[in-house]
Structure 1
Amino acid sequence: MDSIGIGLIGWGTVGCGVVRVLQENESIISNRLGMPLVIRRVADLDIETPRPVAVPREILTTDAEAVLRDPKIDIVVELIGGLEPARSFILEALESGKHVVTANKALLAQSGNELFEAARRFERTVAFEAAVAGGIPLIKSLREGLAGNRIDTIFGILNGTSNYILTRMTLAALPFSDALREAQQHGFAEADPTLDIEGIDTAHKLAIACAMGFGSRIQLDKVYTEGISRIDPLDVRFAEEFGYHLKLLAIGRQEQGRLEMRVHPTLIPSTHVLASVRGAYNAVHIRGNAAGSIMLYGLGAGMMPTGSAVVSDLIDLARDMFCRAPHRVPPLGFLPERLEWVPVKPMEDIVTRYYFRFSAMDRPGVLSKISGILGNNAISIAAVIQKGREVEGAVPIVMLTHEARERDVKRSLAEIDRLDVVKEPTRLIRIEDHESAEI
């Protein structure tokens, strides 16, 4: 074997990044690997639009089957995204005896269990470093670097678009719509940003990371997901008065044999290292029982960071091929037969702290009514801010609670929102601050 043949399906932003990394770092890769990685075919529906990197015209094709059938291709790189036909292409590649590299977190979150089983059946590998956190080596850290640890917590920012929007809402006091528009103008948000701003993209990544960290099969349907589209700059400012920053967090924990998997806007102390992560950057805190707390930080998307992650997978697969050792490391880091359907704690059973903002009429006794209902539901108040100024005809009352159960919180707020002195539904943001002491 004097080279490894690579076939790309998808020649968009990430595909161009892969090509550029392979071209610019060709000698470095050959020195590390002992042989070149050679792009044999590039398939895309559009091969006419100019790209920022060039490949020989004769290797371009609009037919994905030309990649899947080519006997000179050892590894297929799937970069088209979406569920179909990406799933079918990967299954066909595996059946044809080819390894696969993918950056498709949505597909892995939905169908990863099936794809990994197919790879095992055909004695091939599906590699996916680029699927979670872009250029940050999160997958390799969970699968190999921390293999000797029991992972207790995965906690972080996994979506650069949402982090950029919240950064602009914090630093420039922009309303959500203006911050989103700015993100789109700078290329940080898609024309349809739903997957990013509603937390869906983050949920895909968290489902994969939790499976790897906690030895579970992937359970996307059990990830509680809430986005940032309803965040008001008023809440960002009140949070700062209490000493908190607002982030869209992915939170995964394993306690007493059950998992927590949730994505939602979260207040974290302004002293927490994650509070300083700005713009389109990602950062993940992992706590292992042996390694302690570690932090991974970097660009979670983009042509070159994601291309770098894809190429790292190509190098790993090439080494395994050279040693004839497929499945040297299982896809999720655990032996497939040892993976379990680990029970997931329902959201209503989650215990955490809370931020509430009530829009109440300025009348005597309102605060005592609200606090009475909270007390009757075992919710203890930690701090209160009551502003004299009116906002849209009501006075904001802002509270932070001690730890409470989600079920009790939702029951309390439903009762409070029925009061005739409360003008709007209560704003709720969860608080995570017990992790701050770990970093």
Structure 2
Amino acid sequence: MHIKIAINVPTAMSFFSILFVIGFEKNALAVTIDSLSGAPNNGNLISISGSGYGSNSAVRTGDIQWLGDNIELGNVAAEFSPPPNWSYHRAETTFDAPHYDNLQAHSGNKSIRITYDLNKYGGYFNYNHESAFGKVFYSAWMRIAGPSSWTCNGTSGGCQYKNGGRITSGVIDLGRPQFYTSTWTEQGNFVVFMQTSSDTEPGVVSDYPHNTGSAECYQWMCPGPTGERRYLLNGPHDTVGPNTNSDMWVRIDWYAEESSPLVKNGTFKMVLQKPGEIINTVLDFDKNLQTTDGSDYYKSIFFGTYASGFSKLDTWWDDIFIQTGGQQRVEIGDTSEWSTNTHREIQIPVSWSDNSISFIFNQGSFQNGSRAYLFVVNEAGSVNSGYPITIGGQLSDIAPPTSPRNFNVH
């Protein structure tokens, strides 16, 4: 289900740190939820009290994007109507425009659909921040039609889909910093690229030691024809693609912190949630990536972008959440321990202090009457043991929450 809410986004930070945090846990006892006020029904205002929440500047400044309201209010078959700071590539000979669609939905009744074919190999919509992110967390549900609905007319490598989102310096352009993903149908591989505009950054595996993978300069792209360096971020890859985990709704979370210029202290984390499986951190680079040489910084996120060789490939997006400034957030999960969750839905914060948080309840695809658990992730990545709730439950006897700020509720 979607919460009908729009968020006004002012200018935020001027320095980019990308960090992804969804699937890992640090010192869960540092964060507690002691009480809750409000009925956990979709769209209700909820307040929790406890400790260890820290601060969240994005809530104070309104630097949060939630597309649930926009999607549910869109007219079926109409082109995407972008809220402030959003845009999209309009339909033309080689591009399909994103449309509102009711054939598939993760929650509520609608989603955003982009269809690619042999002639229309481009299509995307994107969020444009007014300044560099510094740190950014985003979460999106996506679905790709499976092999029964398309044929591949590509080269020996198969058909390619650049999926899962793309964090860039404002444009899709070789030679500009970006993170993006790519899947080839025949090769069956999924890769995540990190690209910098530096010619001085060495590109060998040993430069990026960490616990789940490595990064190497990718084939002929080191440097490429325009001077950029493109790196493969290797790990236990598992994501959604045309022939991998297709025909299902999958949630992809990215957290990133920009590095200092020419310094390997940036972060990139990616988490995958798919039905019936424990949520999995598929990439975990922690303060050991160089993301920029100082000439450009990250400030945009693209959804979709490119697919080649498909007779027809339908893709859908739903429940997109973007927060500038850190990984702090409130979630509901299906088990009492964060590390065993197989289903999570992000909540929409409206006030935040070290010992209390108010948020608008997002039921997502949880059913009424089901048991769920509340979690708070603070800036350091610490998370509490789950606080039990029943979706569709009754009001508690605790004082009501404060009114939200920086939101327009429809």
Higher relative contact order (CA 8 A, sep 6+): 2
Q: Which has the higher strand share?
A: 2
The alignment's TM-score, normalised by the length of structure 1, stands at: 0.24
Structure with higher Rg: it is 1
More helix by percentage: 1
